């Protein structure tokens, strides 16, 4: 099984700016019958939001609809065995979102592969290293909502700016 973490592969900025949700609907089982990794989107978004608040930004809301779009694209990338901003059906992020009734002047997509631990993924997402483009977009004031999809090592993270019809909810954060 591939354990190599693929660095941030693609950032696609489209069109002029850029109860708990699970990242995938299906449950995968390994060869030994043990349950495979399944991200805790709530925890990941809570950690991203802690960093946003430290920087004086508003917390991101989770868009369940955007998460559905991201899950479908992650599943498609897993089936194709490659990271791509364009799905096997030829649709790009803006088209996939529009087909789900999601609109925003600012959308951005990050596709990653190989992260198998919520903490590791969250650490990468909140690492302020100047070379970390994913962090920069997550901390952008234009971003107000996030959708996260995962399937068999493939992640699709969709970020949206505000829109009057965009429905989001706060993540369920556990305080220590």
pLDDT, tens digit, for every residue of 112-153?
A: 998 777 877 888 889 999 999 999 999 999 999 999 999 998
So what's the pLDDT on residue 36? Answer: 67
Give the CA radius of gyration of the chain. 15
Residue 147: in which H helix or E strand, if any?
Answer: strand 145-151
Asked whether residue 22 carries a pLDDT value surpassing 60, the answer given is: no
So what's the pLDDT on residue 31? Answer: 41
Residues forming beta bridges with residue 160, ordered by sequence position: 107, 145
So what's the pLDDT on residue 176? Answer: 58
So what's the pLDDT on residue 37? Answer: 73
Q: 145-151 and 154-160: which strand pairing?
A: antiparallel
**103 vs 1: which has the higher pLDDT:** 103
Structure tokens at 173: 């954060």
């Amino acid at each position: 099984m591939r354990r190599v973490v693929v660095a941030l592969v693609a950032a696609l900025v489209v069109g002029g700016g850029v109860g708990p949700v699970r990242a995938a609907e299906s449950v995968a089982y390994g060869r030994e019958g043990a349950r495979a990794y399944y991200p805790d989107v709530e925890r990941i978004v809570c950690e991203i939001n802690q960093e946003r608040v430290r920087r004086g930004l508003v917390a991101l809301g989770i868009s369940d609809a955007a998460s559905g779009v991201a899950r479908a694209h992650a599943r498609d990338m897993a089936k194709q065995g490659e990271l791509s901003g364009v799905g096997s059906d030829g649709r790009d992020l803006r088209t996939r979102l529009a087909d789900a009734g999601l609109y925003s002047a600012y959308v951005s997509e990050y596709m990653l592969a190989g992260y198998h631990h919520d903490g590791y993924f969250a650490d990468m997402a909140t690492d302020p290293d100047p070379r970390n483009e994913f962090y920069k977009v997550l901390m952008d004031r234009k971003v107000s909502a996030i959708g996260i999809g995962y399937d068999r090592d493939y992640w699709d993270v969709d970020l949206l700016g505000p829109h009057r019809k965009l429905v989001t909810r706060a993540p369920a954060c556990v305080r220590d």
